[in-house]
């Protein structure tokens, strides 16, 4: 089994190299395919004007900009420098967003009112990632996670069929096909994700959604 340091180095090499370049070429098309999850996350976060929000895995900054337009003070982090460069170029100067290149495993953010991550934690050791998200928020703060899981077995056939039928039908080719082909993750079943989440975030609410996504919402005790 790889150590946390080995996994961190592997991810950094991928996202800062040709892998990050491939995803950058396909990113806007991928985001169109999961736009509904971003809207759900924005509504669930309910970030208020003046609140400090941390987003891990911000990509090109679409969700960060939506929260900043509501008056939130956003710190948006991504491992890929090219993503951060594009996010900055797309962000009007009046929005209160601080973009940073960084790895959650090597950061120690603290004192945020809301910590959000969408489609990112499946790249990381899950228990450690949950604990770091929890540490990032102040007492009474909210952690909101939306991510992928694997639906396995015969019992999941109806769910998989429904998710397949409702998926956004973006043609797969070119940069998009290359990005998916070069990027493999061992996704966990939802039962395992729930087990890990409940151990790290007591009282967390984990829900399953169509499209092989789950959401987890947790409020830090005061």
pLDDT in tens, 170-219: 554 555 455 455 555 679 999 999 999 999 999 999 999 998 999 999 99
Kindly list the structural domains of the chain, giving each domain's residue range(s) and its CATH number in brackets, ordered by start.
Answer: 4-133+143-219 (3.40.50.150)
List, in order, residues 6 or more apart from 175 with CB less than 8 Å away: 22, 25, 26, 29
Mean pLDDT score across all residues of the chain = 84
**In this structure, are residues 49 and 114 in contact, taking their beta carbons and an 8 Å threshold?**
no
d(CA 202, CA 199) in angstroms, rounded, equals: 6
Q: How confident is the model over 142-173, as pLDDT tens digits?
A: 999 999 999 999 999 999 999 888 775 555 45
Residue 168 burial (CB count, 10 A): 12
């Amino acid at each position: 089994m790889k150590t946390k340091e080995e996994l961190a180095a592997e991810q950094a090499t991928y996202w800062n190299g040709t892998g990050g370049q491939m995803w950058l070429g396909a990113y806007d098309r991928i985001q169109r395919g999961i736009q509904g999850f971003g809207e759900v996350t924005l509504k669930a976060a309910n970030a208020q004007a003046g609140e400090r929000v941390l987003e891990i895995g911000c990509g090109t900054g679409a969700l960060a900009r939506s929260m900043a337009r509501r008056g939130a003070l956003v710190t948006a982090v991504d491992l890929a420098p090219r993503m951060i460069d594009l996010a900055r170029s797309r962000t009007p100067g009046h929005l209160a967003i601080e973009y940073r290149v960084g790895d959650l495993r090597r950061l120690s953010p603290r004192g945020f009112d809301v910590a959000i991550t969408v489609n990112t934690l499946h790249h990381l050791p899950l228990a450690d990632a949950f604990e770091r998200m929890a540490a990032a928020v102040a007492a009474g703060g909210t952690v909101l996670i939306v991510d992928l899981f694997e639906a396995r077995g015969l019992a999941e056939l109806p769910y998989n069929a429904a998710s397949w039928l409702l998926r956004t039908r973006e043609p797969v080719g070119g940069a998009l096909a290359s990005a998916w082909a070069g990027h493999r993750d061992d996704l966990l079943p939802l039962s395992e994700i729930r087990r890990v989440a409940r151990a790290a975030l007591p009282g967390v609410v984990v829900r399953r959604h169509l499209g092989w996504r789950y959401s987890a919402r947790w409020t830090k005790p005061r």
